[in-house]
């Protein structure tokens, strides 16, 4: 039993992997939060896309008027899609990076910068802050993932 | 040779990881199925988005009329995007969770509930079932991923 | 210290895993490239979606006219979403596949075919090439991921 546990927690005992697990969980939870914010705006703005979602507002025309797009809902949805486009590469490349044997301090630097940049990006998108806030926070996260990909390819390269 | 095989299959020999691999493969295949359903509706409803996809229907105006949106196609696409938004966090957090040394029974419970909830969600979206079927199945999957993230952060926390 | 390093690079020392890391990094970088291509077309076509992005073009109506959709921008965005829909399953299933102890030559075949198919898919989408170029390259990548999922389920099956 204990031997099995030890085996199963092997990776999680590695400090770089623990850091990766922590930041990945945080950044994925942040992404999941976008679903709740979308739902919040859909309900408060009464802007839905599926007819079955407006059934509680009555039948026919009275419900149909809530099948509409809303600028705030669309803004959150764009932020959510941007998260998917950027956090998916971070999680995939970050996992390989964490297994490529980087220094803990270097790894922490990458994970912290990426996570900070994506949190800033969300605020910049949702408030919204004037440009280039959103553009810069996006670029910093992008460059961080690129830097990890470089380390992965340098370490693992087998084409 | 045998030593190498043993090393490479180490993780897959762990029962929690095997369960994770099984449910992740199922839930990702389910997500991939959405592409086929979208293609099915695009072809049967003759509703395309790329001009090159309608070239076989003739030239000019006769083909152009098939460049249109269709309610069923859009519904499947929304289901597909919702899968991406929810299955990506499950796969990422679920992997870290599987490596955090949970009890097999607890892990199976999480994986089974999430997979069941997402299959229900797809049926609720595509049929469509009256609300709150879709909302509830979404929330159950969401809460399951959240519960795994809590375990990951409790085990791995290294900020 | 050395012992810990050795442990942490254990997976990356496995040849199948190194091949997976290489192709995953390549295919995720290719997906990330779609963001840059979208930005390029948004700027050259002056087609934006967020009001704050057009502020540098002046105030009021003069900037508002750049809040529009552009056929080329939308095309790149569809390609990007298609990448997400297909590369996410590849990364998730591919990781489990790499840990399921396949022959190196078989694994390389899967990774190479998928990566080649997705690069072709991008060219077919963006140029665009006449169908069935895009359809076929999509189907080849899809079938490759499906084949890896079959191996994962055969090896890991624990429901």
- The per-residue pLDDT for range B70-120, each reduced to its tens digit, is 999 999 999 999 999 999 999 999 999 999 999 999 999 999 999 999 999
Task: Mean pLDDT check: name the lowest of A8-12, A16-20, B43-47.
Answer: A8-12
Q: Which of A98, B25, A96, A139 is nearest to C27 (CA)?
A: A96
Both tokens of residue B78? Answer: 């929304």
What part of A 100-159 touches B (C-beta under 8 Å)? none
Both tokens of residue C141? Answer: 């990548």
Both tokens of residue B50? Answer: 């790329």
A-C interface: how many C-beta pairs under 8 angstroms?
96
In this model, does residue C35 exceed pLDDT 80?
A: yes
Q: Which of A95, A75, A149, A88 is nearest to A118 (CA)?
A: A88
User: Which chain C residue has its CA at the smallest distance from A79's CA?
Assistant: C50
* A28, A91 Cβ separation under 8 angstroms: yes
Mean local confidence (pLDDT), A93-103: 96
What is the H or E stretch that residue C125 is in?
helix C104-126
Res C56: pLDDT = 84
In this model, does residue C11 exceed pLDDT 90?
A: no
Mean local confidence (pLDDT), B13-29: 96
Task: Mean pLDDT check: name the lowest of B5-9, B20-24, C53-57.
Answer: B5-9
Nearest to A92 among C18, C24, C34 (CB): C24
CA gap C89, C27 in Å, rounded: 12
CA gap A47, A66 in Å, rounded: 5
Q: Compute the nearest-CA separation of A55 from chain C (Å).
A: 31
Mean local confidence (pLDDT), C146-159: 95
Nearest to B21 among C17, C134, C156 (CB): C156
Res B63: pLDDT = 82
Q: Is the dihedral of CA A91, A92, A96, A102 positive or negative?
A: negative
pTM of this structure: 0.93
Q: Does C43 touch chain A (CB under 8 A)?
A: no
Contacts of B56 in chain C (CB under 8 A): 131
Res C154: pLDDT = 96
Confidence of residue C1 (pLDDT cuts 50, 70, 90): very low
Greater confidence (B55 vs C129) lies with C129
What part of A 53-82 touches B (C-beta under 8 Å)? 53, 55-56, 80-81
User: pLDDT tens for residues B128-159?
Assistant: 999 999 999 999 999 999 999 999 999 999 98
Which residues have CB under 8 Å from C119's CB, separation 6+?
A: C30
Q: Do A10 and C7 touch (CB under 8 A)?
A: yes
Both tokens of residue B143? Answer: 């809460």
DSSP conformation class of B127: T
Res B57: pLDDT = 83
**Class of residue C9 by CB neighbours under 10 A (exposed 0-12, middle 13-18, buried 19+):** middle
Per the listing, tokens 């170029």 go with: C133
Nearest to C155 among B12, B49, B88 (CB): B12
Contacts of C142 in chain B (CB under 8 A): 32, 35
Q: Does B6 touch chain A (CB under 8 A)?
A: no
Mean local confidence (pLDDT), A102-121: 98
Contacts of B12 in chain C (CB under 8 A): 96, 99-101, 155-156
Q: Compute the nearest-CA separation of C5 from chain A (Å).
A: 6
Res C5: pLDDT = 40
Nearest to B84 among A11, A53, A84 (CB): A84
Task: Mean pLDDT check: name the lowest of A18-22, C4-8, C37-41, C50-54.
Answer: C4-8
Q: Compute the nearest-CA separation of B66 from chain A (Å).
A: 23
Both tokens of residue A150? Answer: 């470089």
**% of chain B beyond a pLDDT of 90:** 85
Half-sphere exposure (Cβ direction) of A59: Cα atoms closer than 13 Å: 0
The domains located in chain A, with CATH, are 1-44+70-154 (1.20.120.550)
User: pLDDT tens for residues C70-113?
Assistant: 999 999 999 999 999 999 999 999 999 999 999 999 999 999 99
How much is the mean pLDDT over chain C? 92
CA gap B18, B4 in Å, rounded: 19
Res A7: pLDDT = 44
What is the per-residue burial (b if ≥16 Cβ within 10 Å, else e) of A120-142?
bbbebbbebeeeebbeebbebbb
DSSP letters, B18-43, are HHHHHHHHHHHHHHHHHHHHHHHHHH
Both tokens of residue A86? Answer: 């950027």
Which residues have CB under 8 Å from B89's CB, separation 6+?
A: A28, A29, A31, A32, B145, B149
Q: Does A17 touch chain B (CB under 8 A)?
A: yes
């Amino acid at each position: 039993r204990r031997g099995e546990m030890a085996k199963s927690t092997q990776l999680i005992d590695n400090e770089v992997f623990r850091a990766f697990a922590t930041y990945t969980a945080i950044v994925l939870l942040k992404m999941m939060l976008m679903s709740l914010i979308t739902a919040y705006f859909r309900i408060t703005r009464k802007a839905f896309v599926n007819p079955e979602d407006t059934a509680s507002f009555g039948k026919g025309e009275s419900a149909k008027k809530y099948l509409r797009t809303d600028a705030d809902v669309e803004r959150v949805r764009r932020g959510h899609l941007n998260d998917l486009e950027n956090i998916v590469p971070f999680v995939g490349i970050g996992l390989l990076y964490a297994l490529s044997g980087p220094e803990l301090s270097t790894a922490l630097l990458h994970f912290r910068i990426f996570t900070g940049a994506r949190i800033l990006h969300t605020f910049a998108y949702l408030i919204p802050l004037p440009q280039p806030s959103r553009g810069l926070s996006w670029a910093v996260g992008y460059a961080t993932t690129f830097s990890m990909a470089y380390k992965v390819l340098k370490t693992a390269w087998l084409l």
